[in-house]
Chain A
Amino acid sequence: MTRAISIFTLLVLLTSVIVAQEVVYQDIDNDGVQEEAYNLDSNISNGYETYRDPNLNSQLYRRVDWDEDGVFELLIDTDLDNKPDVLWIPHTQVVYRLLRRNVDRDSSAEYEVLGTNKFFDVSDGKFATFCRLKGRVVSSKGEPLSFAKLTLRWEEDGSEITSWQTDDNGEFDVYITTLTLDEYCILTVRTEGYLTTERKIWIEHNKVYNYYFSLYPVILSVDDVSIFPIPIKSGEMLRLVAKSSKRQKLIIHLLDSSGSYVSTLLDTEVPEGQSEFALKMIYPLGNYYLVGNLGYTKIRKSLRITK
């Protein structure tokens, strides 16, 4: 008798669960009225088919399979402007808010699923992942550097992935949606009057990264160059920063301490403003002069290479 009662109770419970999954109630737009999702085909494995808001202040935007598990979820327009505002997953009763923004920096806006690393692209009706780079660029004295240009490129071929600028507070927050290779990237930060800084990074989709850059000022008069560090060890990179008043030719020669020509380190054209170069010092130890011309201005610097 007891066993029969238990089986009956279990059957009732199971039936009630199944019946309950046919309609899911949840207040997804916080208006005090529960919205409803209906499983019309009684097949829970493909998700819920229709949506109903009893007080008619929201509507179904689109059925989507956001996590590609075959179970459809619902994009809901909660302010009736024909744009999605929330992602509702009825079978888990989870609601994600959407933020309309141009995630992949194309011509149209996408919808970031807040709290995740995914976004909904209206143009192809699909969800995609991104990685998020956040951070701040400041001077070595801690002052925020606005409009500093950050460039992300592949390490191997140097091709650019994307670039952006810091805001008024020296902060940045960007989404990278186009990581197609498994290799290191180089994140470069440059701004006029400061030394360009590079960082080799490994980034993946579905992750958020925080970077903090502190840039050192470089004091240069117009049409002049600065070289450092001095002394430099043989085999290391000598950095050269040029500040040019206009687009003009920059030629840099290396002379030994007697003034005899050793080699030409640079023969290029520099744009107006600040340009930076890295020169590998593969020369014998000793004392040298680094001389040259920036346009018509002559340059002369002493250089010492050590072991």
Chain B
Amino acid sequence: MREKNILFVLLLFLSVKLCSETIGPDFLPLSAVDNVNEIGFYTRGVSDNSFYSIFGKLTLRREHLFSFSFVREDFSCTLYDFTSAKVKNEIFVDYYYNLGYRYQFWDIDRPFLAVAGSCRYYEKEKLFFYDFDFSILSSPVISIGVEDINGLERFFVLVTQRFNLPVDVFCGLKLSSNYVDNQPNWSGTAFVGFSLREFRRFSDLGIRLEERFTRYGHLSTFLGITLGFKNFVHNADLMVDSNVSSHDYLGINGDFKLKVFKLKHPPEVEMLIKEFRSLEKEVYKIQGFVLGQKMIEDIRSLIEQGAYEQARGVIEKLRLYLKEW
């Protein structure tokens, strides 16, 4: 297990070192993100393009989610005049401010629909751009939206399917299209990944592979690694997420995200996870408590699958064993 951890950390540092280009802090549209309270830092860059962002999300009750981000983009560009003569190299620094809001519609104990809108303010040119999307939170999750309203509108459909196997497996397909001079341009993104939650000291361990393509063929490949560390501060977790990308034209790049977050489950699930985490600590303190460790693994697997009632039952049993031990 220790070797595996070392491998993960090595991969993480490798991808951070290659730091890079790609998606923003969320690879899902705002309407499809989980209820979460978070604050974090995101960066990506290529040799002539750096992108830094501080972002956060706040969930109020279970329906409302507010998001914000502050973005700085450094773009290095060679300037040419109208005669094609090189003028100079210049680094442009742009600032963007994003504010977003998402509302979820709930059916007793689970959300079934979410709508979201966000506004991006481009400080230098004093311009606003808008995004809008909604998600049908079924299985699969279907998100439809439009990005860059006021700029070049880009429509997209995203379908994400999760399989609650012992390991959470997810895959999805995003198709985007815009019209320029009445000519449609489309591109696609296909991704597949897995995620292991509540595993030892990790709240989340995930790997994600993403392929982007256009009608002209392959464009780029991303390999992303997510490491979530439990109870980093005040029961909130620390997540480190990084991607290595191989772009057909822009070369090898990467992006890196660091955030402190707390998933906002329904109160009973939050309690369950809290209990599980405290039990896990106790069990692993006891040398040779193999049965306890096996039960911890079972509970983790049940939480992973969303079988909270069964997990609760196993937790109760484990408590009894601990008392007897």
Residues of chain A at the chain B interface (Cβ within 8 Å): 140, 195, 216, 218-219, 226-231, 239, 241, 251, 253, 255, 257-264, 267, 280, 282-287, 289, 291-292, 298-300, 302-304, 306-307
Contacts and interface: CB of A to CB of B under 8 A. Distances in A.
Interface of B: 21-24, 44, 46, 48-49, 51, 73, 75-85, 92, 94, 122, 125, 127, 129, 148, 150-152, 154, 176, 178, 180-181, 183, 185, 187, 212, 214, 216, 219-220, 245, 247-250, 253
10 nearest A-B residue pairs (beta carbon)? A284-B151, A291-B249, A228-B80, A216-B83, A261-B187, A263-B185, A287-B75, A259-B21, A302-B77, A228-B84
A284 B249 contact: no
Contact of B22 (A231, A258, A280): A258
A239 B84 contact: yes
B21 A231 contact: no
A253 B181 contact: no
Contacts of A280: 181
Given A260-B187, A289-B250, A231 B151 contact: no
B79 A261 contact: no
A283 B178 CA distance: 11
Contact of A227 (B80, B180, B247): B80
Contacts of A298: 248-249
Q: Name the prevailing secondary structure of the B interface residues.
A: strand
Contact of B81 (A228, A258, A267, A292): A228
B77 A218 contact: no
Contact of A259 (B181, B185, B245): B245
A291 B249 CA distance: 6
A267 B216 CA distance: 10
14 contacts: A195-B83, A216-B83, A228-B83, A229-B81, A253-B216, A255-B250, A258-B21, A258-B22, A261-B176, A261-B185, A261-B214, A283-B152, A285-B125, A298-B249
B180 A287 contact: no
A262 B249 contact: no
A258 B20 CA distance: 9
A16 to B, nearest CB: 71
B249 A289 contact: yes
A259 B22 contact: yes
A228 B79 CA distance: 8
B23 A258 contact: yes
A262 B185 contact: yes
Contacts of A239: 82, 84
A259 B253 contact: yes
B42 to A, nearest CB: 12
A140 B83 contact: yes
